Amino acid sequence: MSVLATLEKHIRAQPERLALRILADGLADGLADGLADGDAPEITLTYGQLGETLAATGTYLRSLGLKAGDRLAFQLPKGLSFILLHWAALRLGAISLPLNPAYPAAELSHFLRDSGARFFFRSADMPPCPVDLPALEKVFTIAADGIEEATRFKETACFDTTTPFGPLPLPEQPAVLIYTSGTTGRPKGALLSHLNLAANAAALHDAWGWRRDDVLLHVLPLFHVHGLFVALQNAWYAGATVHLRRRFDAATTLADLNSGAYSVFMAVPTIHARLMQHLDCRHCDFRHLRLMTSGSDRLPDTVFQQFEARFGYRLLERYGMTETGMNLSNPLHGERRRGSVGLPLPGVEARIVDRQSGAILEDDQTPIGELEIRGAHVFRGYWQNPPATAAAFTADGWLRTGDLASRAADGYYTLHGRANDLIISGGLNIYPAEVERVLTAHPNVAAAAVIGCSDERWGERPLAVVVLQKPQLEEAALTAALRQHCRSQLAPYKCPEQYRFLPELPRNSMGKIQKGPLRARFASG
């Protein structure tokens, strides 16, 4: 059943059950009702109220003229407006385009232009909307006062909450466009269909034993697959309750998790590590939680082991990507193996292929190769980018993940790094090509190569090796100038902090930059 149909079933069947509680900022126990002075307000919605508010938002969007296939972009803080715009757009058959609030105007411009977004909702404290976008019909600016504007969709409008939405979108209809960093220098939009979302929701529902009485503590950003689908959507797919924190804070999260109110928690390794490093963690025990998962980046063995030693809970590591949602997972019951991302989820086919010969590797052969994935959850392609789509798939329809993996005889998969250049910082992907494109646009830069360096805090961080046009300035001044240049063009997490200057970059006989020697020389930090 589609994700939307399932939600509508819950709205009808359990209108009194709590669907969403957006916790007031600053409440350490996460459970108190009402407001403390100066806090952003707490918001609660039962499934019945969620249905009404979504209907109101949908009616509002329809009154603007939003129709099936239109792209609705929004760059909003984590909150109710974000959630309602996304779900109502989906319900109308439009394509939801969530954007990271950290994107500066230069990146935003690319997303709005490339997607041909028709409507754009932005927050007043976010970068100004670029001009000169022919497809963009209207920009809505929402005050950055912390008040959940989306409730205004309901309150201000005379919008009828009872008008039926009309037929549900078809499974093959596109639902959401999420931009991923580009191997070729510009982010590409991964287009996920309603079928993709439904296939993943059903697989995770079964594999992770989601229950109606689950209560999820949600601390992740909503602009990515992890926070939006794996956590929020799939909790609602089960008819469960979501408590949402507007931002992650280690002390608050520890207190929340320790309160006994939650059964499910999902995070990236950087968050798990920060929980362990916080002083308050000494008093915490998470044995009562039903499910705690880790994903979006490799879980270091030390974090896996120390988390269990500290909190009494063995994290369940899983593996996914924007283009597919979740692919592999350690089992809910059974061995959660250290260093492994587990087994294919229901409906997911996985294989390992030798990158040189293209041969499919069996368990008894040399085991490391590129992981390829097939299934109803796999996206159909990049937005209006047939070359990138063609490059992503094999001739027989398998998605090339770009991740190197091996499979043990009992079917457990282990990842061994990436076949491409991708850097993962705090669970967010960075493609060096995109950063290099920005660096080489600087007038002082003749050539640049960006590599990943291991980093205690974020897992990895980008480091830039730069060749100057003419070495005229002090390195410190140049570093400051390049940092500022990157900050003006790229989201902060993509910007290198460390710079190294060389007279030339190592290149092969074809003139291609060789990153191996640069990594050997600089990557250990």
Name the residue nearer to ligand MLC (CB basis): 298 or 337.
298
Q: Residue 522, interface with ligand MLC (CB under 6 A)?
A: no
Residue 320 beta carbon to ligand MLC: minimum distance, rounded to whole angstroms: 3
Burial class (CB in 10 A: 0-12, 13-18, 19+), 402: middle
Name the residue nearer to ligand MLC (CB basis): 169 or 452.
452
Name the residue nearer to ligand MLC (CB basis): 129 or 232.
232
Name the residue nearer to ligand MLC (CB basis): 21 or 298.
298
Q: Of 53, 59, 151, 270, which one interacts with ligand MLC (CB under 6 A)?
A: 270
Per the document, the length of the chain is 525
Instruction: Using CB under 6 A, count the residues that bind ligand MLC.
Output: 23
Binding pattern for the stretch 466-505 against ligand MLC, x by CB under 6 A and - elsewhere: --------------------------xx------------
Name the residue nearer to ligand MLC (CB basis): 51 or 432.
432
**Segment contacting ligand MLC by CB under 6 A, of 12-20, 33-41, 185-193, 264-272:** 264-272
Q: Tokens 């020697």 correspond to what residue?
A: 517
Residue 272 beta carbon to ligand MLC: minimum distance, rounded to whole angstroms: 10
Name the residue nearer to ligand MLC (CB basis): 66 or 222.
222
Q: Residue 431, interface with ligand MLC (CB under 6 A)?
A: no
Q: Residue 127, interface with ligand MLC (CB under 6 A)?
A: no
CA distance 205 to 207: 6
Q: Residue 187, interface with ligand MLC (CB under 6 A)?
A: no
CB 261 within 8 A of CB 30: yes
Burial class (CB in 10 A: 0-12, 13-18, 19+), 306: middle
> Which residue's beta carbon is nearest to the bound ligand MLC?
426
Dig out the tokens for 7 from the structure.
Answer: 């939600």
**CA proximity to 150, closest of 240, 87, 224, 219:** 87
Q: Residue 224, interface with ligand MLC (CB under 6 A)?
A: yes
Name the residue nearer to ligand MLC (CB basis): 369 or 427.
427
Q: Biggest alpha carbon distance in the chain?
A: 70
Q: Of 84, 129, 195, 321, which one interacts with ligand MLC (CB under 6 A)?
A: 321
> Which conformational region is residue 253 in: left (phi greater than 0), alpha (psi within -120 to 50 degrees), or beta?
alpha
Residue 225 beta carbon to ligand MLC: minimum distance, rounded to whole angstroms: 4
Q: Of 182, 295, 342, 452, which one interacts with ligand MLC (CB under 6 A)?
A: 295
Cβ atoms within 10 Å, residue 68: 13
Dig out the tokens for 165 from the structure.
Answer: 């939405």
Alpha helices (H) along 299-458: 301-311, 386-392, 432-440
Q: Of 9, 12, 212, 247, which one interacts with ligand MLC (CB under 6 A)?
A: 247
DSSP E strands in 104-256: the ranges are: 119-123, 138-142, 174-180, 188-193, 215-218, 241-244
Q: Of 58, 320, 375, 452, which one interacts with ligand MLC (CB under 6 A)?
A: 320
Report residue 291 CA to chain centroid gap. 20
**CA proximity to 71, closest of 164, 3, 149, 135:** 135
Name the residue nearer to ligand MLC (CB basis): 24 or 225.
225
Half-sphere exposure of 400 (CA within 13 A, CB side): 20
Report residue 434 CA to chain centroid gap. 18
Q: Of 83, 88, 192, 220, which one interacts with ligand MLC (CB under 6 A)?
A: 220
Helix, strand, coil percentages in the chain from 3-state DSSP, rounded to 5: 30, 25, 45
Dig out the tokens for 449 from the structure.
Answer: 């190569």
CA distance 79 to 218: 11
Q: Residue 227, interface with ligand MLC (CB under 6 A)?
A: yes
| 386-425: contacts with ligand MLC (CB under 6 A) | 425
Q: Residue 344, interface with ligand MLC (CB under 6 A)?
A: no
Q: Residue 296, interface with ligand MLC (CB under 6 A)?
A: yes
Q: Residue 458, interface with ligand MLC (CB under 6 A)?
A: yes
**CA proximity to 259, closest of 286, 281, 282:** 286
Q: Of 226, 243, 272, 485, which one interacts with ligand MLC (CB under 6 A)?
A: 226
Catalog residues that contact ligand MLC under the rule CB under 6 A: 220-221, 224-227, 247-248, 268, 270-271, 295-296, 320-322, 425-428, 458, 492-493
